[in-house]
Chains A and B, each alone.
Chain A
Amino acid sequence: MVMLKTVDLGISFGGLNAVNSFNIEVEEGQLYGLIGPNGAGKTTVFNLLTGVYKPTTGRFSLAGEDLTGKSPTEICNHGIARTFQNIRLFKNMSVIDNVKVALHTRMKYPLASSFFRFPNYFSTEKRMNDEALRLLEVFDLDKHKDYNAASLPYGKQRKLEIARAMATNPKLLLLDEPAAGMNPNETAELMETIRFVRGEFNMTILLIEHDMRLVAGICEKLTVLNFGTELASGETTEVLKDPQVITAYLGE
């Protein structure tokens, strides 16, 4: 089944075409890479897919459902979750609260329960706690659950961000440069984590990355962006051999 499909997706800011007719088809359970030089428009694609920007042209759909022009909240509820290039955790909240807050739209109780603590407050909070702990265990963060999110080491912050995204129960996970700023050991660990997430949750993952070893190691298919347009797309090994792609990355 096609999980994510974009048709001629594009956005321009004033006269600048940041992304130009972007076409991609991600199959369910696939690990898809989106690469390209700096300023190619990769993060803009993510912002389009999560509703932060409204596309000026084209459409995109998740599992056959058209989501073009929906608000970030709605898109999240339909099952697209993301992480950010520069980590965006809730820094003054504890590790477990970072995950619990992402359960917000899945496990609910009314406002009155928040004030008066009716029985459904306790039962729902318990379910949230269990679910959050389960996710933290998956990412090996359960030992740090009561720490401030900001006090975690960098690699663990990345993991926590992925855990938080997973808590929204997404169909599609967007990872924006998950290995940025990581040392080789941490990157290797991260690759394991990403593979594990895909296996454990049968997750469809679209990721932006500059670390070619990571891309070559885990992505099945790639799309290369350059100056907002698609340069190449296809099986990872073939795309990475493409002379055009090599030119875009390394120059003539």
Chain B
Amino acid sequence: MKKLLKSKSLIFTAVLIIAYILISVLIDQGKFTRSQQAIMLRMCSNIILAMSLNLVVGSLGELSLGHAGFFCAGAYAGGYFAVHAGLPLTVSFIIALIIGGIVGAIFGFFISSSILRLRGDYLAIVTLAYGELIRSFAKIIPALGGTRGLIGVPSLGSRGDQWMYMFAVVIITFVLISNFTRSRHGRAINSIRDNAIAAQSIGININRYKVMTFTISAFFAGMAGVVFAFFKGNVEPADFTYNLSIEALLMVVFGGMGNLVGSIIAAAGITALPEILRDAAEYRLLIYAISLILLMIFTSNPKLVELRKRFVPKTLFASRRKEGVTNGNA
């Protein structure tokens, strides 16, 4: 039990809960404008998407540019269910989450099974194509509303209520994914990332774990899609262009690959950035691009990383592992 309490994820969960209470109180008191509230809800779905992509990019070490596709599949599946089921809201939301996740996972399973021979850039290109394919299919299926999309996904109530539901999904996803990455399956996936040949030599079935990672990742991406559908109230193909995949990748890269907490912070930041820059009007896109470039330099330039390490308390970012062993027979 002591160990459990010590674990980082639990501390972080506690921080999240405090953040939740704080923000929901602020929402209730009307301290946020409507657009700020919307941004915060949008953050929830982006955070889930970034965490799911982190499994593929950070843990497995493969580049996926098709997560918008899984997101899209989940959003449509969950949204369609919610529109047509006519169940009480909470029940319908939970079932929609599961359906969206499963539909995403099915796509993830078949797509990853078909690209097992690919690696690196090639894999990224094909996933990009699959992502667009899923979106295009959604566009031509009449039951899903064509280009106009699916409308009338029920709202989860006031912004405060929505916030509660969606925040809960974020926490659950975080706990599940962080548990997974620190299990025997997570270790196996990490070993494939670090050295596939060695992983094979100790009996790890690479193909099986690649498919597993993609499937699980697509499950959570699908759930993120459902969260998105419920927040937005309608789902249209234009929501899921490859820009979304790239944005999700940005969040993972800026957060630090394999670093879940980083993904969350980066997802929140990148979602909020356009809104923060609203006042800058026509310079908005310029500033957005420049700040991304600066962020990139700040996170990867060795000198700056050193500088940052000096100023930021070690416990905040230090990995659990220690660096460097002195040579000798100590």
| A-B complex is real | yes
Question: CA–CA, A164 to B190, complex, Å?
Answer: 15
Report chain B residues within 8 Å CB of A105. 202-204
Interface 9-residue window, one of B11-19, B101-109, B193-201, B302-310 = B193-201
Contact status of A91 and B320, CB under 8 A, knowing A104-B203, A114-B184: no
Can you name the residue of chain B whose Cβ is closest to the Cβ of A100?
B187
- Are B188 and A76 within 8 A (Cβ)? no
- Are A121 and B321 within 8 A (Cβ)? no
Interface size on B, residues (CB 8 A): 34
A237 within 8 A of B: no
Report chain B residues within 8 Å CB of A116. 176, 179
Report chain A residues within 8 Å CB of B325. 144, 147, 151-153, 156
**A178-195: contact bitstring with B at CB < 8 Å (1 yes, 0 no)?**
000000000000000000
Contact status of A147 and B322, CB under 8 A, knowing A91-B194, A91-B195, A114-B183: yes
* Shortest distance from the beta carbon of B243 to any chain A beta carbon, whole Å: 30
Interface positions, chain B 285-330, Cβ under 8 Å from A, are 320-325, 327-328, 330
Give the contacting residue for B184; candidates A92, A108, A165; CB below 8 A.
A108
Give the contacting residue for A90; candidates B185, B195, B323; CB below 8 A.
B195
Report chain A residues within 8 Å CB of B186. 114
Interface 9-residue window, one of A27-35, A81-89, A239-247 = A81-89
Contact status of A117 and B179, CB under 8 A, knowing A73-B205, A88-B198, A151-B323: yes
Question: Apart from A73-B204, A104-B184, A114-B184, what 15 extra A-B contacts exist at CB < 8 Å?
Answer: A52-B200, A84-B201, A101-B199, A101-B204, A107-B184, A114-B183, A124-B184, A125-B183, A128-B184, A146-B322, A147-B321, A147-B323, A147-B325, A153-B327, A156-B325
28 contacts between A and B (CB under 8 A): A50-B201, A52-B200, A77-B203, A84-B201, A88-B198, A90-B194, A92-B190, A92-B193, A97-B187, A97-B190, A100-B184, A101-B202, A103-B184, A104-B184, A104-B202, A107-B184, A108-B184, A114-B180, A114-B184, A115-B176, A115-B179, A117-B179, A144-B325, A146-B321, A164-B202, A165-B201, A167-B202, A168-B203
Residues of chain B touching chain A, judged by Cβ–Cβ distance below 8 Å, are 176, 179-180, 183-188, 190-191, 193-195, 197-205, 212, 258, 320-325, 327-328, 330
